[in-house]
C-alpha cells in the first residue's frame, strides 16, 4: 500500500487538488490505484504540459477520462500527435476531449462506426472532421442515438442534415428531455404564425432552459395557454393546432 496506493494518491492530489475529483476519477477507472503511475500517467501528463496544455484541461482529462492518460506512453504520444494533425488547439478543452475520443480500441472502433453513420446522412469527410473539431464526443455516440436524433432533426423538423454538422453538440442532448419538448413548442408557435418557420436549431436547442422558457413559452402564454403543457409533454401538438 505504501509503495503503490499512497504515492499514486499523492500524485493525483497534486494534479487534481481535491479528494472529490480523485473520487470522480476513481469512479471512472476503478483500477487507477492498481497501476504504476510512474510508468505512463506521469510521463503522459508531463508530455501534455510540454505542449502547453492548460492545467484545467489536464484536470478535466484526468478526473473524467483517466483511462486516456493511463495508456502506454508511446501510444499516447502517437494519439496526441494525431489530434494535433487534425487541427486541434492544445490550449482548448476540445484537444483533451479529442484525445479521449480516439483513445483505446473501443473508442477507435466507435469513432469509425460514427464516421460511417454520418456519411450515410450525407456528410462529407471534411464536414465530419469539422464536427469532430467542434465537439469531439459526437464521434463516440451510439449508432442508435445518432440515428434517432438525425431522423428527428431532418425528417421531423426539416433541418438540413449538414446543418447539424456545424453544431454537433445537439446530438448529445436528450431527445426526450430537451429536443422533443422544445421542438414541440416551436412547431406550435410556427403553425400559429408567432415565430418564423425557418427557426435555426441553435436558437431552439442551445439556450439554457430558463432562457428558452422565457423567450418561447412565458412570452406566448396568453395567446396559447396550453404551451407549458406542450413543453411538459402533457398536451399533444395535434390537440391545439
Q: CB atoms < 10 A from the CB of 59, how many?
A: 17
The 10s digit of each residue's pLDDT in 43-90 is 999 999 999 999 999 999 999 999 999 999 999 999 999 999 999 999
Amino acid 220: pLDDT: 95
Q: Which residues contact 177 (CB under 8 A, 6 or more apart)?
A: none
On whether both 223 and 138 belong to a single domain, the answer is no
The 10s digit of each residue's pLDDT in 120-164 is 999 999 999 999 999 999 999 999 999 999 999 999 999 999 999
Q: In the listed set 119, 147, 172, which residue is the last one of a domain according to the structure?
A: 172
On whether both 194 and 160 belong to a single domain, the answer is no
Amino acid 241: pLDDT: 64
φ and ψ at 130, to 5 degrees?
-65, -45
Do 65 and 104 form a contact (C-beta atoms < 8 A)? no
Mean local confidence (pLDDT), 109-118: 94
Terminal Cα distance for the chain, rounded:
67
On whether both 163 and 201 belong to a single domain, the answer is no
Amino acid 108: pLDDT: 81
On whether both 96 and 12 belong to a single domain, the answer is yes
Angle at 106 between CA 135 and CA 138, to 5 degrees: 15
Q: In the listed set 84, 102, 120, which residue is the last one of a domain according to the structure?
A: 102
Do 59 and 16 form a contact (C-beta atoms < 8 A)? yes
Amino acid 28: pLDDT: 82
On whether both 155 and 190 belong to a single domain, the answer is no
Number of domains the chain is built from:
3
Q: What is the pTM of this model?
A: 0.85
On whether both 76 and 11 belong to a single domain, the answer is yes
SS3 label, residue 211:
helix
Chain centroid to Cα 159, Å, comes to 20
The 10s digit of each residue's pLDDT in 2-46 is 567 787 878 788 888 888 888 888 888 877 877 778 889 999 999
What are the angstrom distances between the C-alpha of 173 and each of 28, 77, 168, 199, 208?
Answer: 21, 32, 10, 18, 12
Scan for cell 486541434, then name that residue: 88
On whether both 166 and 189 belong to a single domain, the answer is no
On whether both 81 and 115 belong to a single domain, the answer is no
* Sequence-distant contacts of 158-164: CB under 8 A, at least 24 apart: 159/201, 161/121, 161/122, 161/123, 162/122, 162/123, 162/127, 163/200, 163/201, 164/131, 164/201
Mean local confidence (pLDDT), 197-222: 94
On whether both 72 and 110 belong to a single domain, the answer is no
Amino acid 21: pLDDT: 87
On whether both 71 and 126 belong to a single domain, the answer is no
On whether both 29 and 14 belong to a single domain, the answer is yes
Range of the domain at 159: 105-172
Q: In the listed set 172, 192, 214, which residue is the last one of a domain according to the structure?
A: 172
The secondary element (H helix, E strand) that includes residue 161 is: helix 161-165
Amino acid 1: pLDDT: 54
Amino acid 104: pLDDT: 75
Amino acid at each position: 500500500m505504501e509503495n503503490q496506493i499512497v504515492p499514486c494518491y499523492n500524485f493525483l492530489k497534486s494534479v487534481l487538488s481535491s479528494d472529490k475529483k480523485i473520487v470522480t476519477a476513481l469512479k471512472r477507472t476503478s483500477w487507477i490505484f492498481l497501476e504504476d503511475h510512474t510508468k505512463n500517467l506521469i510521463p503522459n501528463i508531463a508530455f501534455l504540459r510540454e505542449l502547453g496544455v492548460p492545467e484545467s484541461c489536464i484536470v478535466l482529462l484526468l478526473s473524467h477520462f483517466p483511462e486516456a492518460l493511463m495508456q502506454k506512453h508511446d501510444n499516447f504520444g502517437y494519439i496526441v500527435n494525431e489530434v494535433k494533425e487534425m487541427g486541434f488547439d492544445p490550449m482548448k478543452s476540445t484537444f483533451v476531449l479529442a484525445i479521449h475520443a480516439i483513445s483505446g480500441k473501443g473508442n477507435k472502433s466507435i469513432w469509425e462506426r460514427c464516421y460511417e453513420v454520418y456519411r450515410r446522412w450525407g456528410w462529407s469527410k471534411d464536414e465530419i472532421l469539422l464536427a469532430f473539431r467542434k465537439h469531439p464526443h459526437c464521434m463516440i455516440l451510439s449508432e442508435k442515438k445518432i440515428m434517432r436524433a438525425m431522423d428527428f432533426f431532418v425528417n421531423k423538423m426539416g433541418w438540413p442534415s449538414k446543418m447539424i454538422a456545424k453544431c454537433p453538440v445537439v446530438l448529445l442532448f436528450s431527445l426526450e428531455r430537451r429536443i422533443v419538448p422544445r421542438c414541440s413548442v416551436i412547431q406550435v408557435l410556427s403553425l400559429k404564425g408567432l415565430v418564423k418557420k425557418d427557426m435555426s436549431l441553435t436558437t431552439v436547442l442551445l439556450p439554457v432552459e430558463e432562457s428558452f422558457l422565457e423567450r418561447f413559452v412565458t412570452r406566448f402564454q396568453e395567446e396559447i395557454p396550453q404551451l407549458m403543457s406542450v413543453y411538459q409533454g402533457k398536451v399533444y401538438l395535434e390537440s391545439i393546432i
